[in-house]
A and B are shown apart, each in its own frame.
Chain A
Amino acid sequence: MEQDALTFKNVSAGYKQRRVLDNVSFTVKEGEFVSLIGPNGCGKSTLLKTAAALLKPLSGAVELFGQDVQRIKPAVRASLLGVVPQKIDSPMAFTVSQIVMNGRISSMGWWGTPSSLDHDLVERAMIYTDVLGLRDRFFTELSGGEQQRVALAMVLAQEPKIIMLDESISHLDINHRQEVLQILMNLNREKRMTILLVSHDLTLSAGISDRFLLMEAGTLAKAGTPAEVLEPELLSRVYDCDLTVQQDPYTGYLQVSGAIESLRRRRKLEKSVHVIAGGGSGIELYRRLLIEGYEVTTGVLNRLDSDAEAARALNIPVVLEQPFSPVGADAIAQAMEMILRADTVVLSQVPFGSGNLVNLELAEEALKRGKTVLLAVGIGERDYTEGKSAVDFAARLKHSGALNWHSIHELMAQLQQQLPH
């Protein structure tokens, strides 16, 4: 039975005003090769910083080989865990060998004089990462790929039991990326080194990882083998775009790709959607609908509304009304005309007040005329009318057959279903 190398126990972590990790629990066993994946901003870097005791958890605990990482002495921690950051830079003119020697800093004496062991380890690390020939060059003069290999050499010289890499290979060219991955795989297989790799290349990671940790908005969405985690539906939800997963018939590797098919379909669709929005709630909807190829109309909007500006900028036909005045009969008639021409009516997450309640009446009328109406959930939190009349309205719409949508991704899927095949 392998030892637990890194354990997160109900960890919440983040910064002063912003909680980034929310109740994350997982275990990485010694000798495992684990890829940490998830969209930008989901908390991967924060997770690494918390694992390396750079951030203190707000609650919960992080354990390195069974010890609370916050209580481990820094020098001991460095002998257990090494971190290769996204990028390191040295403002001063240190040479490559001086930089790599930094990996030994907490093992050397107080004056930082390297022993012959330190020299050996540094040289070995430089051979391993193929930077020995660069040893006398200034670090700052190297290319990005060379710098990244030097950084890896420095962390290898540290001789940790776990190496965490924070998107360290994302900006390497394909040749050096393969090379660094090869180094990591060798370390993992030959030295039983535990590796936690933050990765954006799901296909590449699928080929080399024992396990995946998939993060979504600060939580752990799923942990498991590549086949378990690389579920098209799960990935599409987490990354909020269509992804396909295929198994290579020859190698058995899993391949994740953005669905080319749906890209190809992005010609003009003979389908139109009328959006009822306001207060900026429509902007993302307009954008996505246009990208997918729908014809979009919108209204009634207040002339000063940011959605009105967006509609104008995107060249979307829009019905406008003067600011700070009730919606007039004229505008209502125009909007009704648009709705009748549209196939579907979508209501955004617009807040309702007495001024724009008439938009819900338009939606009700659309339902009566046989249009599909898709309603964003959670109207109760956006209802500023007296007596919560928008909530009542929504209930009535639901009763008459309006559908709910939760996320834009889901909405797009619902719209797809209504397309003729």
Chain B
Amino acid sequence: MGMKGSPICADNSFTGKGKVKATWRVVLFLVVFPLLLALSMLLGPSGIGIPDLQSPSGSAILSLRFSRLLMGMMTGAALSASGVVFQALLRNPLAEPYVLGVSGGAGLGATLTILAGSGVLVTLSLPVVAFVSAVLTLMVVYGIASQGSSGQPSVYSLILSGVIVSSICSSIVMFLVSTASVEGMHNVIWWMLGSLQPVTASQQLLSAGLIFAGLGGIWLLSPQLNALALGREMAHYQGLRADVVIVIGLLFATLLAATAVSLSGMIGFVGLIVPHVMRALFGPDHRRLVPLAALGGGTFLVLCDAAARTLLAPIEIPVGVVTALAGGPFFLIILQRRMKQAWIA
């Protein structure tokens, strides 16, 4: 902010000389993130380092770590990309799946499914039910926010009604948990705390399919997301089917958030902060931002999970705690330094 008065700002990250710098930053990120993922494979409650691959327990540990890495990549990528889209479509830095009630709705759907029992069919229907209930919640939120306005609801009424609906959803979840059987209660609470305990292979496969579909869809939309940065009206004037893009974008983002919730429960922070940090580092062009935010969100969650299972081993800290505790200060520093590139209000 202090640079405001300078004739040409010192750090033109995305054009001219700055463009080169930003490109280097992308290259650096693409080199570093696999290294960080590899590092997470070395961490676990059984010790730091490569486990003895000769022994059956060693290879089991490695494969367990690998499947948690997959879980983390999927969940983190989905949450982060979903946050990018919500922020772009609502043009508001506070927008994310939690604020709009999408996660809450997905959570309610997932809770009902978990309490309904276990078995292959139930776990497979988990992401689908979560998606459907998240979409329904979004429709309710939109409906409430539209009351009394002529045409489009304002972002503020959307966020306000999102917060209200979200807390109603979580109250219902609490009620369901308190009246459930001991086993059901245990299942739901464990899931709700948010963890990257691997789910069944079939559920992982289905979730991976949904998340890839969501990410691909959003990436294809990214030129339109750029145009929507100037608002729905301006995008319309420039020849976009703005309302169609908004609806499709919201559906894809909801699909991603719901799948992430059904996979790993309620993990906060990733969907809100990672998009901001990635925007600060790599600029707001969504064609670049969407894939980078997905990779960044995934890597971040994988690292947090590695820390969560290692730090107090054999006790495992809920990963959501680590995302906020470790990520918070780190991201605050980045945002402080590059506030201007992140979001200028």
Contact = CB atoms under 8 A, between A and B. Distances in A.
B343 A158 contact: no
Contacts of A98: 14-15, 226, 285
A88 interface: yes
B92 interface: yes
Interface in B223-270: 223-224, 226-227, 229-231, 233-241
Interface stretch (B4-12, B25-33, B54-62, B161-169): B4-12
Interface secondary structure of B, over-half rule: loop
Interface string A127-138: 000000001111
A417 interface: no
A67 to B, nearest CB: 15
A74 B279 contact: no
**Category for how many chain B residues contact A:** 35 or more
A74 B343 contact: no
B283 A54 contact: no
Most buried by A among B18, B229, B231, B342: B229
B238 A103 contact: yes
A91 B150 contact: no
A413 interface: no
A222 to B, nearest CB: 28
B233 to A, nearest CB: 6
Given A79-B239, A92-B279, A97-B15, 16 more contacts: A52-B236, A52-B237, A53-B236, A54-B237, A81-B237, A85-B234, A88-B231, A91-B93, A92-B284, A94-B229, A98-B15, A98-B226, A112-B226, A136-B9, A136-B12, A158-B239
B344 interface: yes
Interface secondary structure of A, over-half rule: loop
Interface of B: 4, 8-9, 12, 14-16, 18, 88, 91-93, 150-151, 220, 222-224, 226-227, 229-231, 233-241, 279, 283-285, 287, 340-345
Interface in A243-282: none
Interface string A103-119: 10110101110000000
B283 A93 contact: yes
Contacts of B284: 92-94
A88 to B, nearest CB: 5
A88 B345 contact: no
Interface string A1-35: 00000000000000111100000000000000000
A79 B227 CA distance: 16
A85 B232 CA distance: 12
A78 interface: yes
20 contacts: A15-B150, A18-B150, A52-B237, A78-B237, A78-B239, A85-B233, A89-B231, A92-B229, A93-B340, A93-B341, A95-B12, A98-B15, A102-B234, A105-B223, A105-B224, A105-B226, A106-B239, A135-B15, A137-B9, A141-B340
A16 B150 contact: yes
B240 A74 contact: yes
A140 interface: yes
Contact of A54 (B220, B233, B285, B343): B233
Contacts of B8: 136-137
A112 B223 contact: yes
A114 to B, nearest CB: 11
A90 interface: yes
